[in-house]
Every structure is written in C-alpha cells, then in structure tokens.
Chain A
Amino acid sequence: MLRHVSLRLVQSLLTLLVMSFLIYGLISLMPGDPISLMAAGSPSMTPEDVARLKALYGIDRPWTLRYGHWLGAALEGDLGYSRLSAQSVTSTLISPLTNSLALMTCALSLALLIALPVGVLAALRQGRALDHVFNIAAFAAISLPVFWIGLVFIIIFAVGLSWLPASGVETVGGGGGIDRLRHLALPVLALAVAGFGHYMRYMRASMIAVLRQDWIRTARAKGLSWPQVVLRHAMRNALIPVITILSLDLGTLFSGIVVTETVFAYPGMGKLIYDAVTGADYNLALAGLMLATGLTLSGSLLADCAYGLLDPRIGDR
C-alpha cells in the first residue's frame, strides 16, 4: 500500500509539472494581453504607455521564457506577483482558499450526510412511494440552476425572514465564528441542494446493483440480519463508485463554484480563478488552476486509499 501511495505521489507531482506547462501555455496563447485589454477601453492611454507597461510586466517576452522564469521561482516557493490584486500570489490566495475550503467542506458534508442515507433508503424501497418521492426530490435538485436556488434562499431567509445575511463572508468589522457560520449557511445550503440530487442518484443506483449480487443472498442465508447485510456489506461496496465520483468532483467544486460565489458575493477560488483568467493575470490564474489540479489529484489519491479500506482486496493488489 505504501509503495502504491508513494508511486501515486510521484505520478501526481509529474502531472502537476506537465499541467503547469500546459496551463501557462494555454493562458499565454489566449488572445489579448492584460495591457492591451487595459488600453482597449481607454483612448487616453498612449502607444508609449502600452509599450512601456508591456516591457515592465515582461509581456513582450516569449511565453516559454516567462514560464521558465516562473518555474524557477516557484520551485523556490515564490509564486510571483498578482497584477490584479497588486499583492504576491501567495497572499492573494490565502483568504479565497480558506473561504472555498470551508464552503466546499460544509456543502459536501451536508450533501453527503443527506444523500447517502436517502440513496440507500431509496434503493431498499425501490419502486415504492418513498423511492418515487426521493427520486423526484433528487431530479428537482439536479435540474434547478444553483443561482436560482441561491436567489430563492436569499429571498426567503435574508429578505423575507431576515434570519441570515444575504451575502459576504462576515459582518463588516468581523463578527466571530458564529457570524461566519451564518454567512456560510445560505451558500452551503444552495450547493448542498445541488450536490444532494447528484450523490443520492449515484448511491441509489450503486446500492441497487450491489443488492442484486449473489453474495448478498449468501450473507442473508448465513443468518445475518438485514441491517447487518445492508450496513456492513452492501453499503461498503456500494460506496466505491460514489467515492470515485466524489474524488473527481473535488477539483470541480473547488474551482467551479463561480455562480454560487457570485450570487452570494462570497470571495472564493472559483471567482478568483475566473477573474484571473479573464483579466490575464497569468501568475494568479496559474496558481489557482494548479491548486484545483492538485486537489483533483489528491482526491484521486485519497480515493485509492479509501478503496483499500472499503475493499481489502483492492488494497492487497
């Protein structure tokens, strides 16, 4: 197992290196550099200003040279300077990264906490009224756009009931842990609703497939109680495909929740990466996308470890 994990770690580092080259190249090859974009809406910016700023920010050099320079500095722990935030990339990332991890962890936990038991229950009651009710709820959650769910929650909980704040991370001036939790509540709920439908459907389908296996019948025949069969044997096996999906979702959740962040004015990684890419802030975009890649790779590594725990046969291999 240890050898397997070490090998995967080395593979992940190599993947990150290749990805950094590809991402840097793709961002650099996108049309329009930041200074040209700045000049595009401002006729008072003279050609001299444009040329001077391009030279100052190194945009007039080939991207491969800039990448080499970036890689050398990154290996020494310097991720460069973010043009958009006028800070080092590391300082720029800290707050959005913390916010995104908090949002992602809470939303994912809540979604799984509801979706997994509901999925199991729906599988056990397959074709009956309860299964239909859960399916309708899951399809509704998948079908409704997250921005719409977010706005409805704002209207109900912030505007109508005035229970929760409509936006932001904390009350102006800082309000402590409870205050941050209150600000987190609506975006977490909105994301959890979307996640619930997704994971409930996977869990249900996987559970139905497992429950049809011969060894389930054998376990029952051996005299195990139904709850023992479901919880100790069927559910463990049914979780394996769900974990695969979950590990792949980590990166997407981390960098792809732009809509939720925008609706709730929640400054996280999704919005940061989007702004960095559209604003041609190469260093920041690269660091953000590398983090998302790293998270996907870590998710995949954790999933491998989890497979081993859930099914020892996988670990032995």
Chain B
Amino acid sequence: MSPCRHFVLSVFSLLLALAPQCGWAETNQLVIGLSQFPTNFNPLIDTTVAKSYVLGFARRPLTLYDKDWNLVCMLCTQLPTIENGQAIVEVQPDGHKGIAVTYTIQPDARWGDGVPVTTKDILFSWKVGVHPDSGVSHGEMFRRIRSIDAKDAKTFTVHLNKVSFDYNAINDFEILPAHMEEDAFSTPADYKNKSRYETDPTNPGLYFGPYHPTTVVRGQYIVFEPNPTWYGKKPAFGKIIVKVIETTPALEANLLSGDIDMVAGELGMTVDGAIAFERRQRPEWVVTYKPELFYEQITANVENPILADKRVRQALLYGLDRQTLIQQISQGKQPIANSDVSAMDWCADPNIKTYAFDPKKAAELLDAAGWTIGSDGVRRNAKGDKLAVELMTTAGNRSREAIELIAQQAWKRLGIEVTLRNQPARTFFGDTVLKHAFPSLALFAWSSFPESLPRTTLASDMAPVQANNFAGQNTGGYKNPEMDRLLDAIEGELDKERRRSLWYQLQALYAEDLPALPLTFHAVPFVLPKWLKGVEPTGHQYPTTLWVENWRIEK
C-alpha cells in the first residue's frame, strides 16, 4: 500500500472511530441556542435581554406582566390594589401625596440552600438598589420608594414617594439573598465585583426559581438543573442547557446537527434567517413570529426648519408605503406601528389616525407648506431653498439600510431630496442620536414595556442639550406643552378608564404631531421543536423562561 493511501485510510479510520462520540444524547434535557452570553448574573447590575432570559429559569420577580399583558403577582401572593385595600394613598411627612402598597411573599419561597425568602431580603435589596455606588443600572424603581416597613417575615409595605398609576408594579425590584450578599456589600463601590453572582454564580443560595445554574462556562454555555427547594409546579426537564451561538447560520447548522433543540426567540435568529429556514421546510420545527415592544421609527429633528412644520412630517409618512416596506423587509411578519404604543397594549387606541400610503395627500401637504415642485423634480420654497433632508441610521444593519433605500425612493417621487448618511452603531447612538446631532431624520428603535409612559422620549425637559449634559432621550427635541400635560396626567391617574381616555389623547397628539415617523414593531422568531409545548412568547420584556415550569414534552 502506498504511503499516501495509508495516510488517507488512517485519517478515515480515526474519524470513524470518533464518530460514535458525537452528539450528547441524554433524555429529558433541552438544549437552547441563544445568540449572546449574559454580561453577568447579578439581577440588579446591567439589564440585558440575555441575562433576563437566563435568570428567568432561576428567579421570579415580585410582579410582572403575563403573556396577556396583565400585571400579575409572581413571587407575591396577591396583587395589591386600592380596590382590595392593600394599596392606600397617604400623605408623606413633606405634605405631598404618596402611596403605601403591601405585598406578601409566597409562603413556601426559599432560596436554593433552603433559607426562606423573607422581608430581610427585601430590605437588603432596597439598600443595594438606592445606593449610588452599587452599580445598579435602573435605579428609578428603588428611588421611588421612600421607605419599606417589614410587617413580618413575609409581609412588607412599600411607601412610594408619589402617586402613579403603576404603583403596584414593582417588576424591577429584583430580590437579592441577604444571607449571601451582605458581606459583598460591605464596601458598596466594590459590590458589583465582589457579588457572589460574579464570584460564585452556581451557588444555589442565589436562586429560588424552578431551576438553578449548576455549570457556567463563560461565553459558551450554562447548565440548569431543577432546584429542589422550588415551591411551584414541578418542571418537566431534568436538565436545560443554554448554549451561546451568535449567528443565524451557525444556529441553523446546530439545529440541523442536533447540537441544539430550539432557538430562543428573545435573542436568536434574525427574521430573514428564520424565514429562510422555514422555506427549507424543516418538518421537525415550528417557527413562530411574535411582535415585540421594539419600536422602529424615524425620529425627526424638529429644530430643523424644514421638519419643524408638522405638515412636512405628515407628508413624509403619507408618502411612504409602509405595508410594502414591511413586506419587503420581513415578509409581512412585523406589524405596522401607528404610534409608540403597541396595538397589543390595553391602552392602544384602535381608532388612532393612521397614515395609509397616499402620495397625493402627501403632495398636497407639501404644497400647502410652501414647497412647490420645480422643473428638476425637486421641491423648493419661496426663498428657493431645496426640500432636502438627510436620513441617518446604523451602518451595516441590513434591514434599516433597506428601509432607508425604500424611503429615499418614495420621497424622491414626492420631490424631496434625501441624502443617506450612515454611521457605525457606536458613533450613531453614542454621539449622533443621544447628543441630538442629526440634522434631519434618524432611523432607529426604542425598547419599551406594557403601558410604558414615554416621558423620557417625549417630555420637553428631556431633550438632550449641552446644558443638561445631554441627558434625556427626547432626541428629536420635540416640545409640546399639551404632551407634557398629558404625560403628567397619565402618570397620576389611578382610574383605568380615565387613564385610557388620556392615553387615547396622547396617541392622537402623537399621530398628529409625529415627533417620530412610526414604522413597525419588531417581530422575533421562535424556532421550537414540534415535541416542545407550553412555550408562550409574551411580546414584552419578560421572557418565556419565566414560565419554564409550563414547558413540556409531547411526542
């Protein structure tokens, strides 16, 4: 036998010998592909989608929105309301009105090491949450709390410093185990580094959900196993593995090779990748598209003299065929947005003014605004200035670049000269958008949550300017006293029906003023094996993993 043939046969034999070890067939386990690894495991520091997804297996918030977008108790026993007497409006020592809300923790809730979840943990978590050096990213929830009274080991009353409609939603009040974390918090500025969530993330005493992480290999995978102290319904899987695979082609390859069973919708395949996967007709999986609260829009810089006229903004929206646009970018999987409030939200106005594609009306509005079409096909005003705008977005985002091109063509037909200028995401968000430095139009998305009051994006005092060190997210510089009044009125209105009416007014004003041109709400694809049941996408920031005990195998 020649040396060459001998070599080829040896390699072939080696591969065959290794082949039986492929795959990791173990029954009663679920392997999930996720496109990002959580930055850390501490629920209070840095809020990312990956972390919410992963911690959903191992923790439960006190309250949250369920899959029908109703506010419900999860770790508490009954949602406190004014009607059931567990929330009472009170006068604070400074004379302002506040509200006292009483919660009771699930009586059987225990940390993984057997220590009960108690009000001691609540008081400790609040202490961490309000401390300026603790590194908590979203401190507003904690700062709203004036004080907390622990009635007993399981019942506590939160005194909020103002009356607001979401008084009983303490969704972001993440509970830390005092018995595990107190030492790490002895020097608050070092807490983010010394927390056991960072130094010992598989310690069962840090979790109280249906599962707890038993192996964490940073950047690669996390293994979850059932938590013996879990007080709720027994989960179906003996092991859940979350593997990090960052790209859609690699996720697809791993599905096909059997290395993963499903792809998380919250952070997985791109919509076009999932559509392509579906087209290849893989009978073993079901692809479900769920619209979520990620609002894609074009913010108008209303300080630009052209865009300061709302007729121009309205004309831009009338002149854009959003139905066709969405068909092109997502095969129609994403819903059209009519304002920043999702149609799935209870406060969404079903009769809101819509801007169906109407180039004739768009032209009339531009004519009325003083922009008349010239012989070169470009509109000009009486002074001879061109109707020219610059549209900016994140470079390299294929979907946004496609939207830009479609918009450019559509608006050109109306006589508007559109220049496209894209920047890397870091420059675009870091310098251009947040510093209000785009000359005309900026295409990007905002994330939100059910009944999210858009104060930071619409209130007059939230425009980022040098004077406030570019704080605030009203990046277009929109100012309308009526909008400010409505934002205040909604926040303080406890009656749901009266609040609904105010929300309708806010949406009507938004649709009329168009501080941003609404495009669509993103949809995310869930790729699930046919044998997996009970995974119910929510469409908001609370991931499917928070109901993991309902996931089951049906073969």
Residues of A within 8 A of B (CB): 30-33, 36-53, 56, 81, 83-88, 92, 95-96, 151, 154-155, 158-159, 161-173, 175, 178-179, 182, 262-265, 267, 271-272, 278, 280
Per-residue CB proximity of B141-155 to A under 8 Å, as 1/0?
Answer: 001000000000000
Q: How far is the CB of B21 from chain A (nearest CB, A)?
A: 7
Q: Are A42 and B250 in contact (CB under 8 A)?
A: no
B472 within 8 A of A: yes
22 contacts between A and B (CB under 8 A): A30-B430, A32-B426, A32-B429, A32-B430, A40-B434, A41-B429, A42-B138, A42-B447, A44-B456, A49-B140, A52-B139, A53-B135, A53-B137, A56-B189, A86-B45, A167-B250, A168-B221, A172-B215, A172-B241, A179-B21, A182-B21, A265-B243
Chain B residue at minimum C-beta to C-beta distance from A162: B22
**Contact, CB under 8 Å: A39 / B434:** yes
Report A-chain residues with C-beta under 8 Å of the C-beta of B257. 154, 158-159, 162, 165-166
Q: Is B488 an interface residue (CB 8 A)?
A: no
**Total interface residues on B, using CB and 8 Å?**
74
Name the distance in Å between A212's Cβ and chain B's nearest Cβ. 30
Other-chain contact of B47, A42, A85, A96, A166 (Cβ < 8 Å): A42
| A167 contacts B249, C-beta separation under 8 Å | no
Measured between beta carbons, the chain A residues less than 8 angstroms from B434 are: 32, 36, 39-40
Q: Is the CB of B253 within 8 A of A159?
A: yes
Known: A30-B426, A49-B140, A265-B245. A41 touches B253 (CB 8 A): no
What is the chain B residue whose CB lies nearest that of A147? B249
What is the CB-to-nearest-CB distance from B203 to chain A, in angstroms, rounded to a whole number?
15
A153 vs B277: C-alpha distance when bound (angstroms): 19
Chain A residues, CB < 8 A from B220: 168-170, 265, 267
B430 contact from A33, A48, A85, A182, Cβ within 8 A? A33
Number of A-B contacts defined by CB within 8 Å: 192
- In the bound assembly, the distance between CA atoms of A151 and B139 in angstroms comes to 44
Closest to B425 in A: A278
Within the complex, what minimum Cβ distance (angstroms) separates B34 from chain A?
11
Instruction: Name 8 extra pairs, CB < 8 A, besides A45-B138, A166-B250, A178-B18.
Output: A38-B46, A41-B446, A43-B454, A56-B189, A164-B18, A168-B259, A265-B244, A272-B219
B-side contacts of A43, CB under 8 Å: 446-448, 452, 454, 456-457, 473
Closest 9 CB pairs of A and B: A32-B430, A47-B471, A86-B40, A31-B431, A267-B219, A40-B429, A158-B257, A31-B427, A265-B245
B contact residues around A85 at 8 Å (CB): 39-40, 218
Q: List B residues at the A interface (Cβ < 8 Å).
A: 15-16, 18-19, 21-24, 31, 39-42, 45-47, 132-133, 135, 137-140, 143, 189, 192-193, 198, 215, 217-221, 223, 241, 243-247, 249-250, 253-254, 256-259, 425-427, 429-434, 445-449, 452, 454, 456-457, 462, 468-473
Q: Name the distance in Å between B67's Cβ and chain A's nearest Cβ.
A: 21
A262 and B472 alpha carbons, distance in the complex (Å): 35
A175→B21 CA distance, assembly (Å): 10
CB of B413 to closest CB in A, whole Å: 32
With A and B bound together, what is the CA distance between A151 and B249 in angstroms? 8
Q: Complex Cα distance A169/B218, Å?
A: 12
Please give the distance in Å from B193's CB to the nearest CB on chain A.
6
Report the Cα distance A51→B431, complex, angstroms: 16
Residues of A within 8 A of B259 (CB): 158, 165-168
Which residues of B have CB within 8 Å of A48?
139-140, 143
Given A39-B434, A151-B253: A172 and B447 interface contact (C-beta under 8 Å): no
Given the complex of chains A and B, what is the CA–CA distance between A6 and B14 in angstroms? 46
If the complex has contacts A86-B39, A86-B198, A262-B246, are A159 and B256 also in contact, measured as CB distance less than 8 A?
yes
Write out the residue numbers on chain A whose beta carbons fall within 8 Å of the beta carbon of B250. Answer: 151, 154, 166-167, 262-265
Instruction: Give Cα A163 to B23, complex, Å.
Output: 9
Taken together as a complex, chains A and B put the C-alpha atoms of A52 and B138 apart, in Å, by: 11
A33 to B434, CA, bound (A): 11
Q: Closest CB-CB distance, B532 to chain A, in whole Å?
A: 18
B475 nearest in chain A by CB position: A40
CA distance A267 to B133 in the complex (A): 32
A30 to B423, CA, bound (A): 12
**Complex CA–CA separation, A30 to B427 (angstroms):** 8
Residues A51 and B137 in contact in the complex (CB < 8 Å), given A31-B427, A85-B218, A166-B257: no
Pair B426/A158 contact, Cβ less than 8 Å: no
A69 to chain B, nearest CB (A): 15
Q: In whole Å, how far is A149's beta carbon from the nearest beta carbon of chain B? A: 13
Name the residue among A39, A161, A175 with the largest chain B CB count within 10 angstroms: A39
Which B residues are in CB contact (< 8 Å) with A45? 137-138, 140, 456
Residues of chain A within 8 A (CB-CB) of B256 are 159
Q: A40-B433, A44-B456, A178-B18 are in contact. Are A155 and B39 (CB under 8 A)?
A: no
For the complex, give the distance between the alpha carbons of A316 and B189 in Å. Answer: 57
Closest to B48 in A: A38
| Contact pick for A56, options B18, B24, B133, B448, CB 8 Å | B133
Cross-interface CB contact of A37 among B41, B143, B244, B426, cutoff 8 Å: B426
Known: A45-B137, A52-B132. A166 touches B430 (CB 8 A): no
| CB closest residue in chain B, given A155 | B253
- Among B39, B215, B426, the residue within 8 A (CB) of A173 is B215
CB of A220 to closest CB in B, whole Å? 28
A182 and B15 alpha carbons, distance in the complex (Å): 9
B471 and A178 form a contact (CB under 8 A): no
Bound together, the chains give a CA A92 to CA B445 distance in angstroms of 31
CB pair B253 A32 closer than 8 Å: no
Q: Which residues of A contact B462 (CB under 8 A)?
A: 47
Q: Is the CB of A96 within 8 A of B219?
A: yes
- List chain A residues, Cβ under 8 A from B430: 30-33, 36-37, 40
> Which chain A residue has the least Cβ–Cβ distance from B470?
A36
The answer for the CA separation of A53 and B471 in the assembled complex, in Å, is 13
* A84: contacting residue among B39, B137, B198, CB under 8 A: B39
Tell whether, in the assembled complex, residue A81 and residue B456 are in contact, meaning their CB atoms are under 8 Å apart: no
In the complex, the chain B residue whose C-beta lies closest to that of A54 is B469
Complex: A282 Cα to B503 Cα, angstroms? 43
How far, in Å, is A155 (CB) from chain B's closest CB? 7
Across-interface contacts of A31 in B (CB, < 8 A):
426-427, 430-432
Give the residue name and chain of the B residue nearest to A280 (CB).
B426
Contact A163-B246, Cβ < 8 Å, known A154-B257, A173-B223 = no
